[in-house]
A and B are shown apart, each in its own frame.
Chain A
């Protein structure tokens, strides 16, 4: 009896140390700290922008936008001789161009919008792969573009991510009520004489910025999951727009952190780990939430 009594705290203490070590150890590497910071920012920004993507039924558009960035990135990659410093700007330029072009194409009625997006999306993606395949080491580079390279985030990348992430969140904050009306009732937006066309393009540009920011962390192929999954989960739990944004952001951040740990300990590609974490959260909520009654919902 006696010895046990004083042994127990020591044992628990060692266990605690082990646990703390599990959490802290990855961050003895500076690149992991940068990777974590970038993933959390990207997780939050994608999740908040994603609320509008889900509400407006733009998941396919988001997927297409992410893929259509590839030729821009590839071109930048070829022109800069393999340097990755400027890739963000190439991605941003390509994304904005594509976002505004799709917005324009979809206004013409001869071709259905999803068909137009499908054509644009696949052909841009093919062009991107064609360009990258001219480089000898293309498989490695291509996989970084497709699935992200969170461990390769430089300090410069992190600063860009933080700066653009803040701009995106600020714009969403300041245009909260206008974007809400535009998404809920475009006719009201017109009768209130809001500049609907400008606001729509602003939302497209925000999506383009989000895609560029997220490219390095989650990559092109899985990005749509970061846009859609946390927001869809939040929509099951909340029934107010701002609540949805906060819950979605929290889920995005939790997915990013958890995914990065999984990636570190199980040697999984970080983008996949983050997306799969978000998916598991979605499935849990989807199964457990009682008949469309949200946790935060008022009766």
Chain B
């Protein structure tokens, strides 16, 4: 674990407006001697929506944790708006639903307020302004009516939207979402995807780990194909070719040749949690 430093030690984390919102350079992460991520380089522009796809254990969660500064890279560099991730509180990590303790005694509004405690600071209580931000965030994800519900009483889609509201309340510029569509019914998935569309208008950059290649192709600007190494990163059309997919998924891939010449991939392994 990296030593965590309180924000007040970095009172003004500089943002270079001309730099890409996220720049990853030759990033490697070793865990217990083996490579979880190897030699990864890419950069994202503000407002982009990126789908990260790859088989289980490809390092999607790990990539998000290194980018958000939760895990320190073994080597290489992560830059947020031109500077290291350390002092930034503008990166939000939305965990997989299975990683959250839903019995925790907190209301929807409590959880969203948690996103603001970086701005509020030590020895202070949420002020009017903070509650306004929380309610604006809840309104944006259409959860205002459920603000006082205990989080365990929510449906999967509502839980996901609560965490998205928390990212908004945090005033995040980069939102990393780990399998947000997993286990949701189609209407809930659509609701989340249309919210991501809204975020683009606010210039918020979103990276979403997903298993659904169809959605990755239809709802995202760019697709990142990951399996410990960065296999391909570009437009959905150029990344999701059968050749690339076979390279990423190997034996887990099942390619189905459609009548019109399109190739679909059935990912035989997934819908479970990714190994940590």
B89 touches A244 (CB 8 A): no
List residues 164-183 of chain A with CB under 8 A from any CB of chain B: 174-175, 177-178, 180-181, 183
Using A180-B114, A191-B70, A240-B110 as known contacts, say yes or no to A235 and B105 having CB atoms under 8 A apart: yes
Interface of B is mostly: loop
Residues of chain A lying within 8 A (CB to CB) of residue B170? 192
The answer, yes or no, to whether B86 is at the interface (CB within 8 Å) is yes
- Residue A193 at the chain B interface, CB threshold 8 Å: yes
Smallest distance from the beta carbon of B171 to chain A beta carbons, Å?
Answer: 11
Q: Return the CB mask of A225-252 against B: 1 if under 8 Å, else 0.
A: 0000000000100111101100000000
A169-210 Cβ-contact flags toward B at 8 Å (1 or 0): 000001101101101110111111111110000000000000
B residues 242-259 with Cβ under 8 Å of A? none
Q: Which of B7, B88, B150 has the most CB of A within 10 A?
A: B150
Count A-B pairs with CB separation below 8 Å.
94
Task: Give chain B residues whose Cβ lies under 8 Å from the Cβ of A14.
Answer: none
CB distance A195 to B4 under 8 Å? yes
Contact of B104 among A184, A187, A194, A195 (CB under 8 A): A184
Give bound CA distance, A175 to B126, whole Å.
13
Query: In the complex, A188→B65 CA distance in Å?
Result: 11
Whether A180 contacts B68 in the complex (CB less than 8 A), given A187-B93, A193-B87, A194-B4, comes out as no
Interface of A is mostly: helix
* B122→A178 contact, CB < 8 A: yes
Identify the interface centre among A107, A178, A243: most chain B CB within 10 Å of its CB. Answer: A178
Task: Among B10, B92, B105, point to the contact of A241 (Cβ < 8 A).
Answer: B105
Please tell me if A4 contacts chain B, counting CB pairs below 8 Å: no
Which of chain A's residues 137-183 have a Cβ closer than 8 Å to chain B? 174-175, 177-178, 180-181, 183
7 A-B contact pairs sorted by A residue (CB < 8 Å): A184-B104, A184-B111, A185-B114, A190-B69, A193-B6, A193-B10, A241-B105
Q: Which residues of B contact A (CB under 8 A)?
A: 1, 3-7, 10, 65, 68-70, 86-89, 91-93, 95, 100-101, 104-107, 110-111, 113-115, 117-118, 120, 122-123, 125-126, 148-150, 166, 170
